[in-house]
Structure 1
Amino acid sequence: MRKQKRRFDDDDLDLTFEKSYSEEEEWDETSDKPETGDRWSTWDLSTPLERGPRPYPEWLVTELAAVDFEHGVLKTGKEADACLITRAVPGTDRSCMLVAKRYRSHDHRMFHRDSGYLEGRKDRASRVNRAMEKRTEFGKEAIAGRWAMAEFNSLILLWQTCQQLGIEPFVPYPVQILGTEVLMQYVGSPDGVAAERLATVRGDDADIADLWQQMLLALRVMSRAGYTHGDLSPYNILVHEGRLVVIDLPQIVDLVANPQGRRFLERDVHNVVTWFAARGVADLDEAALVGELLAEAGVR
């Protein structure tokens, strides 16, 4: 019997990049459905460039005989839902749990917050740029098409940056993207209970000082890569078995190309410093940290 899953949170989800999709993908609407499961694995439907970094993790199921089992929504927002699935090879012990982040059709999307994030992300086609700036129907679709790819690209960027620096990645592994669905590593217990949000962590249940050091490292790595989260808060940071994991990255902000980059960085730093300071972490200087991170990004 499936257990009821705890949601991560119900905050807005902002999305992003490169392709446009006018409709959501429809899966398995033919007679070629698996005998068990809700759909065949979509692994072979993504191109090599639409899959996560190599080498693929050992836990990841890439067999073409695999099927996906749906377990319901972990997190919902105005623009996307994060659903829990199991990808497994029937008759074997090969299986893994994944999060499928599914962006809804453009008719349900909200675009009141995206202009600041999108500065510095210009499309090569001037017609597309004009449409996005004017928020025409075509422009909205173009913006919506960017969000899913931006989330996937952001996860790849930060995962690979961590690997190059020889540190444990602080983001979920990006498995694949197909249309407006981004599949990523599930963070939680094997029985399907999602990892706790930092916002709900109690000081007597976790090493707050260690979590701050992990948070500081994540901020430095993002800055070294030239970016800031753009919407960082204790509600999109997970804590699982003492490990801090940053999620919801489609609105990642380029600190160099975006003229509002410093403002987004200052807000990100303020949100996390405020939370940790309220829980006893001493001597936190927001201004000094912002200056350090800008220097890390090469911004004067």
Structure 2
Amino acid sequence: MANRRSFDDETPYARRGRLTEHERARLAALREDAYEPEIPGDRYSTWDTGERGPRPYPDWLVTELAAVDTELGVLKAGKEADVHLLRRGLPDGSRACLLAAKRYRSNEHRQFHRDASYLEGRRMRRSRETRAMANRTSFGRNLIAEQWAVAEFGYLCRLWTVGLPVPYPVQRNGTELLLEFLGEEDGTAAPRLEQLRPDADELESLWFQARRALELLAGEGLAHGDLSPYNVLVHRGRLVLIDLPQVVDLFANPAGPEFLARDAANLARWFTARGLDVDVPSLTSELSERAGLR
């Protein structure tokens, strides 16, 4: 009698029919891993995703989707957000630009010092989300981070459009803002107003620009909300306002006039300490009138 093959010797049963969804996803992931191309940077350009800044786009901005983004280091570490230096350029090196990537950190928002008074008058989300933000749950902290990113990007777009001296807002993706980098080609950031020791002529020029910025803000019915020499950059003689997630609507926020007066006083104090004669009460009165508060 011929020897029969044992059950263990049988060729494994070949399954027929359609792949399950799980198996299809597994094979797709294997294909992606096998053919993942190497890129000369940390990621491909995210220009095709998220929310973009106002048109017309500046000539210096690299908008080609073939571009890659390369991290160059941290420019500033803060309580609510970190600012990184990013190079966006084409792989062949023909075009490139430097960007400031501001990334809000949700896990740090338990003590976000700008939550309460600055949010007065702003449209809030659904009650469930409002409770989550108030209780600082993990979900709520993520919402807070995104809320500030959305607010800052929106105000930057608005202020850029009306001619305020602010960085050009390139795009927003979630809690990351990509902004015009104010500095030199080697990555050296523009100094803050607080760091400068200007001569008399430079001081006059900077105050003229600062006052004009305050007037334009007031004309829009807004106050910076946290203005100080630390939130002002000076790039090649040009004064630029930064850090604007807490911009205050002077009419919707009951404390709007107080924020306006505080911004004017904070900025004027730096100039008066360096010998410039600034009449703060008169300045505040003029700004209030320009805003339509009187």
**The TM-score by the shorter chain falls in which range?**
0.7 to 0.9
Separation (CA, whole Å) in 1 of partners of 2:111 and 2:197: 33
1:170-249 equivalences under 5 Å are 170-204=165-199, 207-249=202-244
- Counterpart residue identity of residue 271, structure 1: N
Shift of 1:142: 2.8
1:146-165 equivalences under 5 Å are 146-162=147-163
Separation (CA, whole Å) in 1 of partners of 2:37 and 2:211: 47
Name 1:44's counterpart in structure 2. Answer: 48
Name 1:289's counterpart in structure 2. Answer: 283
SS in structure 2 opposite 1:263? helix
SS in structure 2 opposite 1:281? coil
Shift of 1:146: 0.5
Farther-moved stretch of structure 1 (198-207 vs 260-269): 198-207
Name 2:86's counterpart in structure 1. Answer: 85
SS in structure 1 opposite 2:227? coil
SS in structure 2 opposite 1:82? strand
Name 2:63's counterpart in structure 1. Answer: 62
- Of structures 1 and 2, the one with the larger relative CO (CA 8 A, separation 6+) is 1
> Would you say the 8 A contact 1:198–1:234 is kept in 2?
yes
Shift of 1:158: 0.5
> Would you say the 8 A contact 2:79–2:108 is kept in 1?
no
- Counterpart residue identity of residue 195, structure 2: T
- Counterpart residue identity of residue 292, structure 1: E
Question: How many residues were matched structurally?
Answer: 262
SS in structure 1 opposite 2:257? helix
> Would you say the 8 A contact 1:232–1:271 is kept in 2?
yes
> Would you say the 8 A contact 2:105–2:145 is kept in 1?
no
Separation (CA, whole Å) in 1 of partners of 2:154 and 2:207: 26
Separation (CA, whole Å) in 2 of partners of 1:139 and 1:235: 29
1:232–1:42 CA distance, 2 compared to 1 (3 A):
same
Separation (CA, whole Å) in 2 of partners of 1:59 and 1:270: 36
SS in structure 2 opposite 1:84? strand
- Counterpart residue identity of residue 143, structure 1: I
Shift of 1:130: 4.3
1:108–1:213 CA distance, 2 compared to 1 (3 A):
same
SS in structure 2 opposite 1:75? strand
Name 1:121's counterpart in structure 2. Answer: 122
Shift of 1:299: 1.6
> Would you say the 8 A contact 1:214–1:244 is kept in 2?
yes
1:265–1:220 CA distance, 2 compared to 1 (3 A):
same
1:86–1:176 CA distance, 2 compared to 1 (3 A):
same
Farther-moved stretch of structure 1 (200-209 vs 230-239): 200-209
SS in structure 1 opposite 2:162? helix
Q: Percent identity?
A: 56
CA deviation profile, 1:198-242 (whole Å, cap 9, x unmatched):
001012397010000000010011111111111100011011111
Shift of 1:126: 3.5
Separation (CA, whole Å) in 2 of partners of 1:137 and 1:276: 42
> Would you say the 8 A contact 1:122–1:129 is kept in 2?
no
Separation (CA, whole Å) in 2 of partners of 1:206 and 1:108: 42
Query: TM-score scaled by structure 2?
Result: 0.83
* Structure 2 unaligned regions, length at least 5: 1-31
1:52–1:134 CA distance, 2 compared to 1 (3 A):
same
Shift of 1:243: 0.4
1:131–1:92 CA distance, 2 compared to 1 (3 A):
closer
1:133–1:70 CA distance, 2 compared to 1 (3 A):
closer
Shift of 1:109: 4.9
CA deviation profile, 1:87-141 (whole Å, cap 9, x unmatched):
0001142110000001113355532431000000132523434444455554443
> Would you say the 8 A contact 1:33–1:39 is kept in 2?
no
Separation (CA, whole Å) in 2 of partners of 1:206 and 1:74: 30
SS in structure 2 opposite 1:99? strand
SS in structure 2 opposite 1:45? coil
Name 1:35's counterpart in structure 2. Answer: 39
